[in-house]
Amino acid sequence: MIRKSAERVYLFLIFLFLYLPIGVLIVLSFNNSKSKVVWGGFTLNWYKKLFSNSAVMEAFYTTIFISLASAAIATLLGVLAALGIDAMKKHGQAVMLGATNIPLLNADIVTGISMMLLFVRFTRLGMNTVLIAHITFNIPYVILNVLPKLKQSSHTAYEAALDLGATPLYAFRKIVWPQILPGVLSGFLMAMTMSLDDFSVTYFTKGAGINTLSTIIYTEMRKGIRPEMYALSTILFLIAFILLLFMNFGPTARKEIQL
Amino acid sequence: MSKLKRQLLAGPYILWMAGFILLPIAMVLYYAFTTTSGSFTFLNVTSITFSVHLKALALSLKLALLCTIICLVLSYPLAMILNHMKTKSQGFIVFIFILPMWMNFMLRILAWRMLLSNNGIINSLLGTLGLPAIDILNTPTAVVFCMVYDFLPFMILPIYNAMTRIQTDIIEAAKDLGAGNITIFFKITVPLTMSGVISGIIMVFVPALTSFAISDLLGGGKVLLIGNVIEQAFMQEYNWNLGSGLSFVLMIFVIASMALMNSRGDDQGAGVL
Amino acid sequence: MSKRLIDLQHITKSFDGQTILDDLNLYIRENEFLTLLGPSGCGKTTTLRIIGGFETPDQGNVIFDGRDITNLAPNQRQLNTVFQKYALFPHMSIAQNIAFGLKIRKKSKSYIEDKIKYALKLVNLEGFENRSIDSLSGGQQQRIAIARAIVNEPKVLLLDEPLGALDLKLRQDMQYELIRLKNELGITFIYVTHDQEEALTMSDTIVVMNQGYIQQIGTPQDIYNEPVNAFVADFIGESNIINGFMLKDRLVQILDVKFPCVDEGFGCNTPVDVVIRPEDVELVSPEQGMLKGHVVSLIFKGVHWEMEVLANGYEWLVQTTQMHPVGAHVGIRVDPFNIQIMNKPESNDERAVVSDV
């Protein structure tokens, strides 16, 4: 009994540690006062201000575009890659997976810098370079979501389909694709979330003209915190919450909690 | 489709990887070992021994280590409690503890900075309790706090996942053979979750070691980590050779710490993810 | 007879409001090979887990060697379990697995080494000390699980469907191994299975369970030859189970024909279940038969032919070495000794399981 209560208290303390900061942010986004402590009544002013701030809105659109586009392209490349890797021999698979892990394990700052060096050499920094960078760090998440599904999917079922007269493409569409679809979807969602979350790589590859939400919050924060940022944070939090709820409890959910 | 043909599907990805992962890293290496005029040099790399850089590296290692230890100490009991919780809502509760990991990184820094600021919530709470205000914003302490806050879920998740993989009959077998709770913890639970712990350590230590945004925004320019030195070399001094040289050193440290951790018995074959 | 080692008294257990065991009483003698046999969900595994200490009964007591151990933790009981899926510790070598219990008991190093050698020899895996668990086949893992349990010299070894995951040939080999082991060790085995052949081959005593109730306790011969009810008869081997009418002592009416039998004491004009094993049905010429019928199907089974004979509206399952082609007219005879009379089930639980007969 004592142990149970102690466990509860512990859970609650960690919960507070994790959520109090965000909770305060959300409350302050509706606070009709610039103070961080005093409640000045409910207001949507900060949201209005946020939506009328063209720089922020532009960053918002850029972020959405980059995350959707990079996730889509990464999913396409990643699914193809997973299919290819799955057909490789053990040694080839190990090499490919090792290489796939590089962007996951490498420090973000080094990934960002290395790509910046490349881009500056051959082109100009801008939307395209951010997009390429995001695709690059997104592909591994797609592969790591799809490959296990491919391994689980039964090769004999695919062969049975061929045996029953299906063309390889038809067999893929009717047999393999439905089995890996959950992995493809969760790979896509994960890629999107990683892209939304990224700061370091974007920071080094974006050039002067454009901003994503992460980089604009960074710039704003260096100047000091304005309450619009609370409103922006609240919106970002809700987007992440809904995406994740869908990822973990939606139709594509895996048994283990997603990374 | 033949096996060979199917392998070709990985072609675009291989090209992409060569162009945007391997080539950029090669460029870092190139800049790291050349001067601005393109001649070979070790100076960029050896400049890590400059006292400013060395101090930044030492501080980075110290804070990252501290952050990792705190995360581990907080996460292990948490993962155990979550794993033992056999309610229908277990999945959702675990989800709640992992969720912050997905929230925008900047947002989390912002939240923490607001809490810690001199006229922020924490100090006014302390004030109402009649306690002296703490002034930790712009100190290494604030940076560590925020790092723990940022990276804690990355420690919780792999440990929790490793724990859920322990079959209950393994625990029952140990009990059956006479093991008490303490023996089970040290002989069964800890060794079988070691892969998760190692993943967690890597996933916390590496970003903590290499981060520059947290120290930048919460350290008020007073906390200089190796990440900040590199960022400044690139974005303020435009000294790419120096920045690359230091990045190279950082990469060595990252690889070394991972190799060190992985040699500590990653017998489950569970990768970092 | 050797003494009672374990006594289960009035054990009741339910999970989520569903009763798994209802007032179960059972004793196990020292040095006995006792098998809990029944279909899945019959409560056999729960019974084993209660003996092992992994579940606590809602009511009732577990007496071990005269001592009440109902609430004793598993690690304090003098018995060891061989788990269904082996439950070997994946991070330890084979020697470390076997040594686990001994180290906890703080045995000396040389003692432990001797024991490992002895146990590996006993399960025919000499020299496997330093192999990893992954390198073993299912049958080998099972042997290690047994070795890990027996080095602790338990008075009782609990085996929870230990052969369930093995293929047929290996399963048969392991049955003989287990009998040999039991004889060499001289300890009590409590064995859980749903496989009637396993139970008949190995056991001294079989406890047939269904839906949380013990249906019958007896030697393999008893259980096979004199099942007490239709459930047991049907579960142990194939049977013809027919509705009958006990006219008086030693005379039963089946399918409108009077059969002499050897059973007494069922009263007059009592409805009963009649069990006749397929190998006990004799096929004769139609004139000589007590019933007349014709063969509707015929399968060659190796040692015998298996036929279905339609007679008086019932399809008799018959096993004989003499072949009669499909459509042949035959007569059916049954020796009075081979007719087994059983009371109709009284409880709904029992009735539920015979409805498919």
Assign residue A225 the CATH number of its domain.
1.10.3720.10
pLDDT one-digit tens code per residue, B162-203: 998 888 889 999 999 988 889 999 999 999 999 899 989 988
As a whole number of angstroms, the distance between CA A67 and CA A130 comes to 10
Q: A4 and A30 share a domain?
A: yes
Determine the Cα–Cα distance for residues C331 and C290; give it in Å rounded to an integer: 7
pLDDT value for A132: 93
A 5-24: CB under 8 A from B: 7, 10-11, 14-15, 17-22, 24
Question: Is A124:A207 a contact under the CB 8 Å cutoff?
Answer: yes
Question: Which amino acid is it at A170?
Answer: Y
Q: Which of B21, B111, B149 sits opposite A102 (nearest CB)?
A: B21
A259 lies in a domain? no
In this predicted structure, what is the pLDDT of residue B264? Answer: 63
- Residue A210's pLDDT band (boundaries 50, 70, 90)? confident
Task: Determine how many CB atoms are found less than 10 A away from the CB of residue C111.
Answer: 12
- Return the closest-CA partner of residue A141 out of A113, A106, A101, A197: A101
The whole-number pLDDT of residue B133 equals 73
Residue in B169, B176, B197 to test binding to C, most C beta-carbons within 10 Å: B176
What CA–CA distances, in Å, run from C81 to B176, C98, C132, C190, C262? 6, 13, 21, 9, 44
For B28, which of A105, A114, A233 is closest by C-beta distance?
Answer: A114
pLDDT band at B273 (very low <50, low <70, confident <90, very high): very low
| A258 vs C7: which has the higher pLDDT | C7
Domain range for A131: 53-249
Residue C74: which of B167, B175, B183 has the nearest Cβ? Answer: B175
Asked if A37 is an interface residue toward chain B (Cβ–Cβ < 8 A), one would say: yes
The CATH number that applies at residue B133 is 1.10.3720.10
A112-126, A227-241, C8-22, C266-280 — which is least confidently predicted? A227-241
Q: Tell me, what's the pLDDT at A251?
A: 60
**A88 with A9, same domain?**
no
User: What is the reported pTM?
Assistant: 0.81
| Global ipTM | 0.82
Query: Which residue range forms the structural domain that includes residue B58?
Result: 49-238+257-263
**Phi, psi (5° rounding) for residue B130?**
80, 20
Q: Which chains share 3+ C-beta pairs under 8 angstroms with C?
A: B
Interface contacts (B, C; CB < 8 Å): 65
Do residues A15 and A58 share a domain? no
Below-50 pLDDT ranges, chain C: 348, 350-357
Reading across the β-sheet that carries C33-37, which strands appear in turn?
A: C79-82, C156-160, C188-193, C33-37, C205-210, C213-218
Q: Choose, out of C69, C75, C155, C158, the residue to mutate when testing the contact with B (most B CBs < 10 Å).
A: C75
User: What integer is the mean pLDDT of B142-166?
Assistant: 90
Euclidean distance between CA atoms C52 and A242, whole angstroms = 46
Q: In the predicted model, what is the mean pLDDT of chain B?
A: 84
A13 and A83 within one domain: no
Nearest to C143 by CA among C112, C181, C187: C181
Number of domains forming the structure of chain A: 2
pLDDT tens digit string along C127-182?
998 988 888 988 899 999 999 999 998 999 999 998 887 888 888 888 998 999 89
Chain C positions touching B169 (Cβ under 8 A) are: 83-85, 87
- In this structure, the answer to whether residues A36 and A66 fall within a common structural domain is no
Question: Strand C240-248 to strand C205-210: parallel, antiparallel, or no bridges (unpaired)?
Answer: unpaired
CB A28 within 8 A of CB A227: yes
Of B179, B188, B194, the CB nearest to C75: B179
CA distance C175 to C52: 22
- Contact B174/C at CB under 8 A: yes
For residues A187-203, average pLDDT: 88
- CB contact (8 A) between residue A225 and residue B157: no
Query: Quick one: A116 and A19 in the same domain?
Result: no
Per the domain annotation, does A257 fall within a domain? Answer: no
Residue B272's pLDDT is: 36
Contact of B181 with chain C, judged by CB distance below 8 Å, is answered with: no
The pLDDT tens digits for A145-159 are: 898 888 887 777 787
- Does position B222 have pLDDT exceeding 60, yes or no? yes
Please tell me whether residues A183 and A152 are part of one structural domain: yes
* Nearest CA distance, B185 vs chain C (angstrom): 13
Confidence of residue A101 (pLDDT cuts 50, 70, 90): confident
Chain B contacts of A109, Cβ < 8 Å? Answer: 210-212, 227, 230-231, 247, 250
Do A116 and B92 lie within an 8 Å CB cutoff?
no
Residues of C in Cβ contact (< 8 Å) with B178 = 75-76, 101, 104-105, 152
- Which two three-digit tokens encode residue A5? 């209560």
Partner-chain contact A213 B216, CB within 8 Å: no
Mean pLDDT of all residues in A192-210 = 88
Statement to judge: residues A98 and A166 lie in one domain: yes
Determine the residue of chain B that is closest to A139 in CA distance.
Answer: B13
| Of A114, A225, A240, Cβ closest to residue B25 | A114
Alpha-carbon distance B82 to nearest alpha carbon in chain A (angstroms): 9
Q: What is the DSSP secondary-structure string of C260-277?
A: E-S---S-SSEEEEEEE-
Tell me whether residue B268 is in a domain.
Answer: no
- Decide if B210 and A221 are in contact by the 8 Å CB cutoff: no
Those residues whose C-beta lies under 8 Å from the C-beta of residue C355, and which sit 6 or more positions away, are: none
pLDDT at B139: 84
The pLDDT score that the predictor gives to residue A69 is 95
Do A182 and A243 belong to one domain?
Answer: yes
The domains located in chain C, with CATH, are 4-225 (3.40.50.300), 230-354 (2.40.50.140)
Q: Is position B8 within any domain? A: no
Question: Taking the CA of residue C126 as centre, how many other CA atoms within 13 Å lie in the half-sphere pointing to its CB?
Answer: 4
CB contact under 8 A, B176 and C84: no
pLDDT score of C84: 86
Tell me if residue B156 falls in helix, strand or coil. Answer: helix
Whether residue A165 is found in the same domain as residue A63: yes
Tokens of C345: 């089930």
If one counts the domains in chain B, the total is 1
Per mean pLDDT, which range of A59-68, B107-116, C60-69, C252-261 is the poorest?
B107-116
For residue B68, being part of any structural domain is answered with yes
- Distance (Å, whole) CA C314 – CA C308: 10
Q: How far is CA C223 from the centre of its chain?
A: 10
Position B37 in a domain: no
Whether A254 maps to a domain, the answer reads no
Q: Which residue has the higher pLDDT, A1 or B63?
A: B63
Whether residue B199 is contained in a domain is answered as yes
C81 and B CB contact within 8 Å? yes
CA B254, CA B260: separation in Å to the nearest integer? 10
Chain A residue with the nearest C-alpha to that of B95? A257
Residue B26 placed within a domain: no
**Which chain A residues are closer than 8 Å to B105 by Cβ?**
197-199, 214
B96 at C interface, C-beta within 8 A = no
Across the interface, which of A78, A80, A257 has its CB nearest the CB of B161?
Answer: A257
Residues A34 and A83 in one domain: no
- Whether A168 maps to a domain, the answer reads yes
pLDDT: which is higher, B3 or A21: A21
Interface test with A, best of B102, B112, B117, B155 (most A CBs within 10 A): B102
Evaluate the CA torsion angle A4, A7, A13, A14 in order and state its sign: negative
Tell me the nearest-neighbour CA distance from A47 into chain B, angstroms: 16
Residue A50 scores a pLDDT above 90: no
d(CA A41, CA C139): 72
- Quick one: A7 and A128 in the same domain? no
End-to-end CA distance of chain C: 38
Are chains A and C in contact at 3+ CB pairs closer than 8 Å? no
Does residue A255 fall inside a structural domain? no
Element (H, E) at C213: strand C213-218
C75 touches chain B (CB under 8 A): yes
Query: Does residue B18 form part of some domain?
Result: no
Are C224 and C237 a contacting pair, CB within 8 Å?
yes
B88: chain C residues, CB-CB within 8 Å: none
Q: B: neighbours with 3+ CB pairs under 8 Å? A: A, C
pLDDT at position A172: 84
In a domain, B17, yes or no: no
Chain A / chain B CB contacts < 8 angstroms: 248
Say how far apart CA A239 and CA C242 lie, in whole Å: 68
